[in-house]
Amino acid sequence: MNRKIFFLLVPVFMLVACKPKPAQDTKDQQAPSPEGPAVDISVATVGRQDMTDTVHIFGEVALRQEVLLASQFDGRLEGFTLLMGDRVRKGQKLGVIIPPMREALLQVLDQIDEKEREQISQEIREIPLYSPMDGMVLEVYQHAGDVLQKGEAIVHIGQLQTLDVHGDLPVSQLSKVRKLKRIEVDFVDYDHAPVRLPVVAIGGKVNASRQTVPIRLRLDNPAGEFRPGMMVRLTFPGAHHPEALVIPRSALLEEEGVFSVFVLRKNRSVEKRKISVGIRHDHFVEVLDGLKEGEKVAVTKTYSLTDGMKVNVR
């Protein structure tokens, strides 16, 4: 009898032992922070310093002296052997133009009396071509044996010892540039150190559609390093703002033309704040509105932050 009772109780105890434990009260569990873990950032203090704007305009290297040698008569070009890159001297004979009547005379010259032959030859002469300047052949349009018409171009010669740099200066910068003696110029697609060139002339007529005036600088080229047609960038100082309110460039966010920064709050969170900016350099940016001197702004992980996020300042 006792054995039967024992065997009946064992399954009951096993069922009690296998029954699942009740869940703990949710109030005792630690809910995750909706803001996530604090982000480590570095900050900088909004301060003041002098800021000078830098103005950039593009220009082009151009010839100062050049000539497009053309035929002043109809005729056939002979004795012309120049090629692109050849150097010529002022007064150098480059070839001759044989007029049509001279061509016809040469065909019947042996049929003319010797006394008349010399007189006719003097009256109907070949026309020599001379170089009007020292320089380099930039382009050849005609070759020996070609038949030319009056006014047709034969060769383009340019003097490369002294070149010009031409640019279009915004009218808004005219008064500033008039006070400058030299402007820094660097070459867009040519590996050469920037050079400071003297201002030779500023044009007197404004381009009405672009509101610019032409500017010309002198580029000495004794070693022949530069060539006409090279693109350049002219750089000169613009507006000067003493004791401007500034932040590091790394603090600035730009999204579709809207500027903002993350400002550090006292509770170790950040506030995203829109600002207005003025002069911008590679390392510092002028703040016109939206910040006060002494406030601290995030300078690292700025594009990873969100408004109200908790941060640790490193």
pLDDT in tens, 29-70: 443 444 568 999 999 999 999 998 888 999 999 999 999 999
Q: What is the pLDDT of residues 126-168, one digit of tens each?
A: 889 999 999 999 999 999 999 999 999 999 999 999 999 999 9
Contact status, residue 74 vs residue 99, Cβ threshold 8 Å: yes
What CA–CA distances, in Å, run from 116 to 24, 101, 124, 126? 134, 16, 12, 17
Here the tokens at position 203 are: 């044009």
pLDDT at 15 over 80: no
With residue 39 as reference, give the H or E element that holds it.
Answer: strand 39-41
For Cα atoms 211, 238, 191, give the angle at the middle one, nearest 5 degrees: 90
Q: What sign does the CA torsion over 34, 37, 41, 43 have?
A: positive
Here the tokens at position 301 are: 């992980």
Centre a 10 Å sphere on the Cβ of residue 102 and count the other Cβ atoms it contains.
20
Q: What is the pLDDT of residues 170-198, one digit of tens each?
A: 998 998 899 999 999 999 999 999 999 99
Q: Hey, what amino acid is at 279?
A: I
% of the chain surpassing 70 pLDDT: 81
Report the C-alpha gap between 277 and 259 in whole angstroms.
Answer: 8
Instruction: Please report the pLDDT score of residue 108 as a whole number.
Output: 56
pLDDT at 77 over 50: yes
pTM for this entry: 0.64
Among residues 63, 75, 231, 60, the alpha carbon closest in space to that of 157 is found at 63
Mapped onto helix, strand or coil, the DSSP state of residue 83 is coil
Mapped onto helix, strand or coil, the DSSP state of residue 115 is helix
Q: Hey, what amino acid is at 99?
A: P
Residues forming a β-bridge with 19: none
Mapped onto helix, strand or coil, the DSSP state of residue 40 is strand
Among residues 203, 230, 221, the alpha carbon closest in space to that of 159 is found at 221
Instruction: Could you list the beta-strand ranges (E) of 203-252.
Output: 212-220, 231-248
Strands 87-88 and 135-140: antiparallel
- Give the phi and the psi of residue 313 in degrees, each rounded to 5: -85, 125
Instruction: Please report the pLDDT score of residue 116 as a whole number.
Output: 63
Centre a 10 Å sphere on the Cβ of residue 165 and count the other Cβ atoms it contains.
23
Q: What is the widest separation between alpha-carbon atoms in the chain? A: 170
pLDDT-derived band at 16, boundaries 50, 70, 90: very low
pLDDT-derived band at 271, boundaries 50, 70, 90: very high
Report the C-alpha gap between 37 and 269 in whole angstroms.
Answer: 12
- Give the phi and the psi of residue 169 in degrees, each rounded to 5: -90, 125
Centre a 10 Å sphere on the Cβ of residue 264 and count the other Cβ atoms it contains.
19
Report the C-alpha gap between 107 and 40 in whole angstroms.
Answer: 97
pLDDT at 310 over 50: yes
pLDDT at 2 over 80: no
Q: What is the pLDDT of residues 222-241, one digit of tens each?
A: 999 999 999 999 999 888 89
What integer best gives the mean pLDDT of the chain?
86
Domains along the sequence of the chain with CATH:
39-53+241-313 (2.40.420.20), 55-62+160-238 (2.40.30.170), 72-151 (2.40.50.100)
Instruction: Please report the pLDDT score of residue 176 as a whole number.
Output: 87
pLDDT-derived band at 24, boundaries 50, 70, 90: very low
Instruction: Please report the pLDDT score of residue 273 as a whole number.
Output: 97
Instruction: Please report the pLDDT score of residue 36 as a whole number.
Output: 66
